[in-house]
């Protein structure tokens, strides 16, 4: 995602890292855009508390605790918004896209990564041999994300996918990592309560039966990358008599933007 920032021609004055977590991207954004106003937004107060520990010698960004579904940002106030793997954690990914469009300036850019529905498909198939519950993570297909971006008003959204394979020592190692990350099963027919030790044992036995190579567990990660632009707004509007009217404020703003 950071490499794609090289495609941007204008230098953004206002940058937002949406779902910044512990701030891994913030110093890299500061290095790229030393004069920009950079803001990190995350819903977790605990995550934001870790940003200061990662700061080191780089100049800190502004930090805001907020729900990405309802951003406390003005319309047309952000030139560049980046978001790394936030969408899979959100209840309504389509609403997030609408909010991003709202806060971007005309001509502003969004770059994001997400996870597609083929992520952990092997894990879901393994559970199908153990019980009849759904074990899904509510991940949205790349084409649906593209449709949402177009519906929101984005110009020429570009999305592509990359399939990664990750080798875990066991299915138990994968589950420990998912619990550490806070990933949860959000299916309507999901298993309720704690998993019994007998169920955990059946899951491990199913893994051993499906893959006898050192009991290791290989899973798929479907990485989705996307970027798009908010269309430039016209400087004025056509009146009833046919004249095209431009306010002086917008005319001056257009000149300033062109000269920067």
Confidence at residue 216, expressed as pLDDT on a 0 to 100 scale: 78
Least confident of 3-17, 34-48, 84-98, 107-121: 3-17
Please enumerate in sequence order all residues whose Cβ is within 8 A of that of 2, keeping only pairs 6 or more positions apart, or say none. 25, 28, 32
Query: Coil, strand, or helix at residue 76?
Result: coil
Confidence at residue 5, expressed as pLDDT on a 0 to 100 scale: 86
Please write the tens of the pLDDT for every residue from 17-68: 999 998 989 999 999 999 999 999 999 998 888 887 665 545 577 999 999 9
**Is residue 100 within 8 Å of 110, Cβ to Cβ?**
yes
Pick the closest to residue 83 from 161, 21, 27, 147 (CA basis).
Answer: 21
Q: How far is CA 42 from CA 16, 113, 181, 185, 187, in A?
A: 11, 16, 15, 21, 24
Query: How confident is residue 132, by pLDDT bands cut at 50, 70 and 90?
Result: low
Query: Coil, strand, or helix at residue 215?
Result: coil
**Is residue 113 within 8 Å of 119, Cβ to Cβ?**
no
**Is residue 187 within 8 Å of 135, Cβ to Cβ?**
yes
Pick the closest to residue 137 from 127, 129, 150, 147 (CA basis).
Answer: 127
Confidence at residue 121, expressed as pLDDT on a 0 to 100 scale: 85
- CB atoms under 10 Å from CB of 215, counted, come to 13
**Is residue 171 within 8 Å of 95, Cβ to Cβ?**
no
The C-alpha R_g of the chain, in whole angstroms, comes to: 22
Pick the closest to residue 80 from 148, 147, 18, 146 (CA basis).
Answer: 18
pTM for this prediction? 0.76
Query: How far is it, in rounded angstroms, from Cα 203 to Cα 178?
Result: 16
Query: How confident is residue 204, by pLDDT bands cut at 50, 70 and 90?
Result: low
Confidence at residue 14, expressed as pLDDT on a 0 to 100 scale: 96
- How buried is residue 245: exposed, middle or buried, by Cβ count under 10 Å (0-12/13-18/19+)? exposed
Strands 62-65 and 78-84: unpaired
Name the more confident of 239 and 153: 153
């Amino acid at each position: 995602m950071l490499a794609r920032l090289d495609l941007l021609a204008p230098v953004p004055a206002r940058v937002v890292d949406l779902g910044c977590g512990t701030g891994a991207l913030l110093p890299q954004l500061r290095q790229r855009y030393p004069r920009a106003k950079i803001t990190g937004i995350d819903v977790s107060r605990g995550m934001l508390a870790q940003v200061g520990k990662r700061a080191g010698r780089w100049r800190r960004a502004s930090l805001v605790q907020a729900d990405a579904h309802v951003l406390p940002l003005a319309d047309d106030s952000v030139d560049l918004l980046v978001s790394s793997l936030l969408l899979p954690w959100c209840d309504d990914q389509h609403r997030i896209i609408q909010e991003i469009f709202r806060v971007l300036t005309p001509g502003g850019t969004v770059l994001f990564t997400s996870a597609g529905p083929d992520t952990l498909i092997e894990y879901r198939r393994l559970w199908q041999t153990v019980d009849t519950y759904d074990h899904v993570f509510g991940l949205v297909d790349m084409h649906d994300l593209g449709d949402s971006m177009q519906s929101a008003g984005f110009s020429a959204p570009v999305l592509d996918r990359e399939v990664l394979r990750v080798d875990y020592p066991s299915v138990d190692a994968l589950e420990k990592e998912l619990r550490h990350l806070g990933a949860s099963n959000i299916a309507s027919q999901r298993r309720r309560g704690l998993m019994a030790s007998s169920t955990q044992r059946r899951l491990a036995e199913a893994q051993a039966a499906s893959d006898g190579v050192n009991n290791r567990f290989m899973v798929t990660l479907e990485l989705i990358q996307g970027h798009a632009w908010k269309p430039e707004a016209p400087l004025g509007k056509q009146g009833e008599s046919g004249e095209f009217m431009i306010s002086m404020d917008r005319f001056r703003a257009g000149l300033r933007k062109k000269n920067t």
